[in-house]
Amino acid sequence: MNSTPEPDENLVVALRSGREEAFVALYGRRRGAIYRFSLHMTGSATLAEDITQEVFLTLIRDRCGYDPQRGTLAGYLFGIARKLVLRHLSRNRALGDAETNDRKTLANFGACADPMVDLMRQEGIEELRRAVLALPKRYREVVVLCDLEEVDYLEAARLLNCPIGTVRSRLHRARALLLEKLRHRIEPPSRLKVLDPARSLI
């Protein structure tokens, strides 16, 4: 027996009328994406948990500003999570910390004939995760949204409040930066100071 999942918008209406099962269904459906977005953006599980909790508390509140006419619920929730993440990043300068850690990791990384081949190995994936975390936040968020969470460009443009062309160009630039970062792994540490794409973009 096939049952079509209830659309988010219907669940929000049910949630507002006090149906607990609607909240449980919405939370179950959206928690992972919000948590992972926060985790990839901040690099901290504790922060990601706090942000996820705050996002869904906002949804519960009576004065929750979600309007189905203005976009999807997923976009709305990502938007709140993004605001909280950016607030945290600007307050704690987590980006700077991540970049410092990344440089240390890169400097310690052993020589590899083809770093791209390494992406297929577990260490390569961990390295990629760190490289994403070390991207400047405007590039990081498009990679996390579009590449990791598979949000389409239009939705990403809406929640980043920028034209779709900007999303495309940022994504292109972000991927180029990731490639540069991953390639730098085989270069001597002394050259890292000269070739620092993330720093040059700030």
Partner 1 sequence: MTCHEFWDRMPELERDPVRLEHEHQCSSCAALLADQRALAAGLRRLARESRCQSPPVAIEAKLLEAFRRQIAARSGSLARPWATGWRVWAPATALAIALAVYLVGGYRPSATGMRDLTTPSVRSESANNDLLALDSDFIAAPYASGAVPAEDTDWVRLEVPRSALIALGLPVAVDAGSGRVEAEIALSANGVVQGVRLLQ
SS3 category, 162: coil
Residues in 129-158 that interact with partner 1 by CB under 8 A:
129, 132, 143, 147-150
Structure token pair of residue 178? 């990731």
Q: How far is CA 180 from CA 25, 94, 142, in A?
A: 41, 21, 17
Among 192, 184, 99, residue whose Cα is nearest residue 137: 99
- Cβ–Cβ under 8 Å, residues 185 and 121: no
Structure token pair of residue 84? 């909280």
Q: What are phi and psi of 19, to 5 degrees?
A: -85, 115
Q: What amino acid occupies position 103? A: R
**Contact stretch for partner 1 (CB under 8 A) within 36-44, 79-87, 91-99, 102-110:** 36-44
Regarding 67 and contact with partner 1 (CB under 8 A), the answer is no
Residues 92-121: x/- map of binding to partner 1 (CB under 8 A)?
------------------------xx-xx-
Regarding 166 and contact with partner 1 (CB under 8 A), the answer is no
**Contact stretch for partner 1 (CB under 8 A) within 3-11, 75-83, 92-100, 178-186:** 178-186
Chain contacts with partner 1 (rule: CB under 8 A)? 18, 20, 23-24, 27, 31-32, 35-36, 39-40, 48-49, 52-53, 56-57, 60-62, 116-117, 119-120, 124-125, 128-129, 132, 143, 147-150, 175, 178-179, 182-183
